[in-house]
């Protein structure tokens, strides 16, 4: 056990002063932030198109009686969904900002030095033949755990979050983004900002076809908005909340939890 712990702590100490791990974590975090901005931009572009068509009407007179249909009313449900998606993205962005704050704390030199000092002190205690001061060993273990959490917990979470995203959510995100961009272009192509009036039978069927196309686009866009919402609720809200809970629980355990110092001492004596 002593050899395993020593090798593990020495390896962590080397990683502790390596800038590659911190740089890679920051890069992954920035890519997550860019994804959220890209998704938000797509949704807002669609929202802008909807706002543009709010006053547009399709009119037709099948038997001499005028019928007016407002495109804005048809687009209202999608507009409401996009507004709710905007709130989700705001929460996701705030969450990403908090993650970056904790990540930057872990990269500070004083945390790195504190981790190195606590590692050296812990290894020294492990290899001492006669450790009689249980309190000193207890404090050393608790201090090492606390500094380890501040140094590496956020990095581990970012890598884990990226793994979950790449394995389970990336395809859904890419598909939804492409579909929403295409939907935006199709709405712009199919409809004019100016009101359209149909007098003849052919024009009436053209208006009905446009309405069916619009409803199909709205249904598809709504599904993709929900898909994007699910991706960001999971990756940028629920998982970070779980991380914060684990972070607080771990700190609390390190400070106030019960550590079997006596068993550790006996194990060290047997291996001496």
Q: For 83-109, write each residue's pLDDT tens digit.
A: 888 888 888 888 888 889 999 999 899
pLDDT of residue 93: 86
Categorize the per-residue pLDDT at 72 as very low, low, confident or very high, splitting at 50, 70 and 90.
Answer: low
Contacts 24+ apart (CB under 8 A), 166-174: 169/231, 169/234, 169/235, 172/227, 172/230, 172/231, 173/35, 173/39, 173/227, 173/228, 173/231
Please state which of the ranges 23-27, 98-102, 192-196, 254-258 shows the lowest mean pLDDT.
192-196
Categorize the per-residue pLDDT at 198 as very low, low, confident or very high, splitting at 50, 70 and 90.
Answer: very low
CA distance linking residue 131 with residue 127, whole number of Å: 9
* Interval 226-255 mean pLDDT: 89
Q: Show the CA angle centred on residue 30, arms to residues 28 and 34, nearest 5°.
A: 115
pLDDT, tens digit (0-9, with 9 covering 90-100), for 132-157: 667 787 888 889 999 999 999 999 99
Q: How many helices (H) and strands (E) does the chain have?
A: 9, 3
Q: Residue 254 above 90 pLDDT? A: no
Q: Residue 211 above 90 pLDDT? A: no
Query: Do residues 81 and 222 lie in contact, with contact meaning Cβ atoms separated by under 8 Å?
Result: yes
In percent, how much of the chain has pLDDT > 70?
Answer: 77
**Alpha-carbon torsion (79, 83, 89, 93), positive or negative:** positive
How buried is 265 (Cβ within 10 angstroms: 0-12 exposed, 13-18 middle, 19+ buried)? middle
pTM, full prediction: 0.79
Task: Indicate the average pLDDT of the chain.
Answer: 81
Categorize the per-residue pLDDT at 58 as very low, low, confident or very high, splitting at 50, 70 and 90.
Answer: low
Query: Do residues 100 and 31 lie in contact, with contact meaning Cβ atoms separated by under 8 Å?
Result: no
Please state which of the ranges 57-61, 183-187, 191-195, 246-250 shows the lowest mean pLDDT.
191-195
Pick from 150, 154, 148, 151: which is nearest to 100 by CA?
Answer: 154
DSSP-derived 3-state class of residue 59? strand
pLDDT of residue 191: 61
């Amino acid at each position: 056990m002593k050899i395993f712990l020593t090798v593990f702590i020495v390896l962590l100490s080397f990683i502790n002063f390596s800038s590659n791990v911190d740089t890679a974590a920051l890069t992954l975090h920035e890519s997550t932030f860019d994804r959220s901005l890209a998704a938000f931009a797509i949704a807002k572009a669609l929202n802008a198109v909807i706002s543009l068509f709010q006053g547009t009407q399709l009119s037709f007179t099948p038997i001499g009686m005028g019928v007016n249909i407002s495109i804005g009313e048809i687009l209202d449900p999608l507009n409401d969904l996009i507004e709710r998606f905007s709130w989700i993205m705001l929460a996701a962005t705030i969450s990403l900002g908090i993650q970056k704050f904790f990540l930057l704390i872990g990269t500070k030199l004083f945390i790195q030095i504190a981790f190195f000092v606590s590692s050296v002190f812990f290894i020294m205690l492990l290899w001492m033949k006669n450790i009689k001061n249980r309190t000193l060993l207890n404090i050393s273990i608790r201090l090492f755990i606390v500094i380890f959490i501040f140094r590496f917990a956020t990095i581990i979470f970012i890598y884990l979050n990226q793994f979950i995203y790449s394995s389970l959510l990336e395809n859904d995100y890419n598909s939804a983004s492409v579909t929403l961009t295409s939907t935006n272009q199709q709405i712009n192509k199919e409809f004019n900002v100016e009101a359209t009036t149909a007098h003849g039978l052919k024009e009436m069927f053209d208006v009905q076809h446009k309405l069916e196309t619009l409803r199909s686009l709205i249904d598809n866009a709504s599904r993709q908005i929900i898909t994007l919402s699910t991706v960001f609720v999971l990756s940028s809200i629920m998982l970070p909340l779980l991380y914060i809970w684990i972070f607080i629980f771990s700190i609390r355990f390190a400070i106030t939890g019960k550590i079997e110092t006596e068993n550790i001492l006996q194990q060290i004596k047997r291996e001496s």
